A and B are shown apart, each in its own frame.
Chain A
Amino acid sequence: MIHSLFLINASGDIFLEKHWKSVVSRSVCDYFFEAQERASEPENVPPVIPTPHHYLISVLRHRIYFVAVIQSEVPPLFVIEFLHRVVDTFQDYFGVCTEAAIKDNVVVVYELLEEMLDNGFPLATESNILKELIKPPTILRTMVNTITGSTNVGEQLPTGQLSVVPWRRTGVKYTNNEAYFDVVEEIDAIIDKSGSTITAEIQGVIDACVKLTGMPDLTLSFMNPRLLDDVSFHPCVRFKRWEAERILSFIPPDGNFRLLSYHVSSQNLVAIPVYVKHNITFREGSSQGRFDLTLGPKQTMGKSVEAVLVSSQLPRGVLNANLNPSQGTYTFDPVTKMLTWDVGKINPQKLPSLKGSMSLQAGASKPDENPTINIQLKIQQMAISGLKVNRLDMYGEKYKPFKGIKYMTKAGKFQVRT
Chain B
Amino acid sequence: MVVYEQIPILSSKTRCSEQGGLILISLLSAHKRFMELLAKEDRSSRSTRVTMDKILTMPELKSNPFRKRICNVFSTSELKDGSLTFEDFLDLLSAFSDSATLEIKSHYAFRIFDFDDDGTLDRGDLENLVNCLTGETDDTRLTPEEMRQLISNILEESDIDKDGTVNLSEFQHVISRSPDFVSSFKIVL
Are A and B part of the same complex?
no
B: residues with CB less than 8 A from A are none
What residues make up the interface of A, taking CB atoms closer than 8 Å to B?
none
